[in-house]
Amino acid sequence: MTVPPFVALVPARMASTRFPGKVLADIAGTPMVLHCAQRAKESGASQVVIATDHAEVRQVAEAAGWTVVMTATTHETGTDRLAEAVAQLNLAPETLVVNVQGDEPLLDPATIRAVAQRLHERPDCALATAAYPITSRAHLEQKNAVKVVLDHQDLALYFSRSPIPWARDAWAQDAAFWPEDLPAWHHVGLYAYRVSFLRLFACLSPAPIERHEALEQLRALWYGYRIAVVRLMTAPLPGVDTPEDLERLCMAWATRVA
């Protein structure tokens, strides 16, 4: 199946709460954000653009030959940052845009293509994203793992860091039992949008559920927009949230290259 043309935008914010400046962290001699941009290029994107709020990121990226747009430091979410970026790039309303996070240097290019393809196939949806199966109660109860509940069309019903869905009757009888048919999914923070929706999203007030859950995709559901979800069979390789994550990734990278 032919993948439709799409633009990959890589938001690169320096002021990370748990790991400031992580987008420029060194991985095998290359800043992390540039690895992310390379994954986006390998996905077949027609254009790759790094959207940043920091002059140092711009300098590093442009020196390596990447296109960069400067965005405001006041954006509360990556989606808001991308909305400013697409306005600067003057992209047509129907253009497909994939948000490739600047801290996911091992992201599979095929997954990037898949979310773009899914949104192309679903003109009734405003966004597309991805998820992979959860197969243990310990995983389901991890507070840092965002879960998504799907309907019969693989459209998102809700996202939460809480353990959803909850196997009430099964766990009332045996807390250690895992129901094999429990449709539990771990959300992957990768999104495809149309430019027209990105522009609209920036004008929508944050939703109460978005503020309490600290999950920006809930803004779309709150206002009645549909989110299509690509089912991945296995978990993607982990991104970088902390210095410890970076250390583990660099060790894995060295092992892979050796």
Q: So what's the pLDDT on residue 80? A: 83
pLDDT, the chain, mean: 92
Q: How far apart are CA 119 and CA 124, in angstroms?
A: 9
Query: What is the biggest distance separating any 2 CA atoms in the chain, rounded to whole angstroms?
Result: 60
Tokens of 136: 């243990």
Domains of the chain, each with CATH number or no CATH = 1-107 (3.90.550.10), 118-186+200-236 (3.90.550.10)
Question: What is the per-residue DSSP string for 69-129?
Answer: EE--TT-SSHHHHHHHHHHHHT--TT-EEEE--TT-TT--HHHHHHHHHHHHH-TT-SEEE
Q: So what's the pLDDT on residue 242? A: 87
Residue 59 has pLDDT above 60, yes or no: yes
Q: How far apart are CA 91 and CA 110, in angstroms?
A: 24
Q: So what's the pLDDT on residue 63? A: 97
Q: Which range among 50-64, 173-187, 231-245 shows the weakest confidence by mean pLDDT?
A: 231-245
Q: How sure is the predictor about 241, in pLDDT bands with cuts at 50, 70 and 90?
A: confident
Give the three-class secondary structure for 188.
strand
User: Among residues of the chain, what percentage have pLDDT more than 90?
Assistant: 77
Spatial CB neighbours of 32, under 8 Å, sequence gap ≥ 6: 22, 23, 24, 25, 26, 102, 103, 105, 240, 246
Q: So what's the pLDDT on residue 100? A: 94
Residue 132 has pLDDT above 80, yes or no: yes
